[in-house]
Amino acid sequence: QVQLVESGGGLVQAGGSLRLSCAASGPTFSRNLMGWFRQAPGKEREFVAGIFWTSGTTYYPDSVKGRFTMSRDNAKNRVYLQMNSLKPEDTAVYYCAAASSFSPVRDPKQFYYWGQGTQVTVSS
């Protein structure tokens, strides 16, 4: 089965940067699409970034476009989320997720493997 483990969360001041990492294991055909989601208290889980393993093609919602960058290292079976110009509203638990899809989906229901989450807190 596919297993995902996130790391790199922490506390940072507004305007600062963090880099999240997600280690993936299991059949690659079951996780050809990797995504990052976040969930703040009292809010629904929100799509943050997506990447396809083979091509490296990425996609983002408007809320993070230009500030966040997703990448992958195929040899290390890891994906990353570089977060720059962080804002207090970015504060949330960030989750790594995996799907088997060839289209850029962003609905969390389409991702069937999830990591445990890592806390990101941005202070003003």
One digit per residue, the tens of pLDDT, for the chain of length 124 reads 899 999 999 999 999 999 999 999 999 888 999 999 999 999 999 999 999 999 999 999 999 999 999 999 999 999 999 999 999 999 999 999 999 999 999 999 999 999 999 999 999 9
**39 in Cβ contact with 119 (< 8 Å):** no
**What pLDDT is stored for residue 30 in this prediction?**
85
Number of other residues whose CB lies within 10 A of the CB of residue 68: 21
Q: How far apart are CA 112 and CA 88, in angstroms?
A: 29
Cα–Cα dist 22/116, whole Å:
10
